[in-house]
Structure 1
């Protein structure tokens, strides 16, 4: 099911029992997004899998009994189609769509890459949140989960564009929580450190060998399922409990720039 059939999608969702909880996960075609969709479905959520790659989200939706909606979070029209497909009520929104592109220093930065990172990591989150906020309000217990990064807490050479975007997302999350204070809507920012997913570093560097070097000799980096479990846990909490910010790192990573390479755990 894709965004070119919004009436059919809306019917599919609106016919669900009022007791059925609905979650929307952006960037659900791979990595943390796909793992999160599976984790929430395992907890009984009807999951709307939103991403640009239609074939992948259709396969995922079929696997978990969800709904696939093709969506580009950088497009106003595409996000409005997502909102129309979702309908009047949702319980959880996971703003997971994001990405890093390039590792240029500021002096030689590709501003096109910087624009792409800001568009998806910041404006995309704002765009989707604006569109789905009425449906979150309608449930009386809405939860917004924004996928941040420890890159939103520090800076490092070659990471100016990505860290600026994730700092921006952090500011949006904090501001949104303050602006919604007094409403029954929770806002959580999940803040992972090193997570080994098949695509993130390859997309960033455009080279498999360079991507592999990021994780070389790191004993048990986090994986997508670890982050998905954290999101599932947050979504399972009582409605009066808000997790403002949850930082997750592998044991090998004591801080952003302190990473142990070598064995830690015994077999």
Structure 2
């Protein structure tokens, strides 16, 4: 099969590319950082095709897709992995620019990619879209504000895709991880503050990018009559907190 992964230059995306290529599948590895993509393509060989693209830029998406060789255009699996969290400030202190960046990447970029590749899947009567959500889309926490809201959007958009795609043979899944270490996620969230990022995982055994990649591969290789609507994953060290109560 041909797999198209956004945000493949690091983290979940790079590990998913390794997993799918390791099982003999063609993988389009897309992202903004040419050097990272080229290094990953050199590692993975001819089954990986690097494609520089910014999901927040519609023109960039259209240009990148137009450059795909004919033998790479029948995408069987789209993994909308590109996404990010920025900051943990409360809503009244969070920079509006951070909110706009998260919405542009996690929501607008995801739906633009989906709309670009979905019609061909429906026309063929087969295909799969895996959207990377988060437990933050279901469970609020202080400082989660717009990040959590974007992931709630991913969950609801995926469910509505399912409603539209009944009988088409095209599947859609929301893959929603909890605490996951070993990626750039927290470093990006804390804008390069490595100490703050490391503290998030201190004393824990979090999920890994490999865990997410193996789950995505399992979803993609199920029989075509099975649709996994959503998968929520958390490490055993993570659970649910009590309600916040402000006492006077």
Q: TM-score, normalization: structure 1?
A: 0.85
**Is residue 50 from structure 1 mapped to residue 18 from structure 2 by the alignment?**
no
Match of 1:71 among 42, 53, 69: 53
Match of 1:214 among 184, 200, 214: 200
1:236 is matched with which residue?
A: 221
2:79 is matched with which residue?
A: 94
User: Counterparts of 1:22-171 in structure 2 under 5 Å?
Assistant: 22-64=2-44, 65=46, 66-86=48-68, 87=70, 88-171=73-156
Aligned counterparts of 1:115 and 1:100: Cα–Cα separation in 2: 11
Quote how far apart the aligned CAs of 1:165 are.
Answer: 1.0
2:246 is matched with which residue?
A: none
Q: Is the 8 A contact 1:89 1:138 kept in 2?
A: no
Quote how far apart the aligned CAs of 1:139 are.
Answer: 4.1
1:247 is matched with which residue?
A: 232
Aligned counterparts of 2:169 and 2:64: Cα–Cα separation in 1: 23
What is the aligned residue count? 236
**Is residue 179 from structure 1 mapped to residue 164 from structure 2 by the alignment?**
yes
Q: Is the 8 A contact 2:183 2:209 kept in 1?
A: no
Q: Is the 8 A contact 1:90 1:139 kept in 2?
A: no
1:265 is matched with which residue?
A: none
Q: Deviations over 1:107-164 (max 9, x none)?
A: 1221110010011001110000111113323543200000000000011111102111
SS at match of 2:75: coil
Aligned counterparts of 1:121 and 1:158: Cα–Cα separation in 2: 17
* Residue 45 to residue 139, structure 1, CA distance change in 2 (3 Å): farther
Gaps of 5+ in 1: 1-20, 259-267
Aligned counterparts of 1:232 and 1:76: Cα–Cα separation in 2: 28
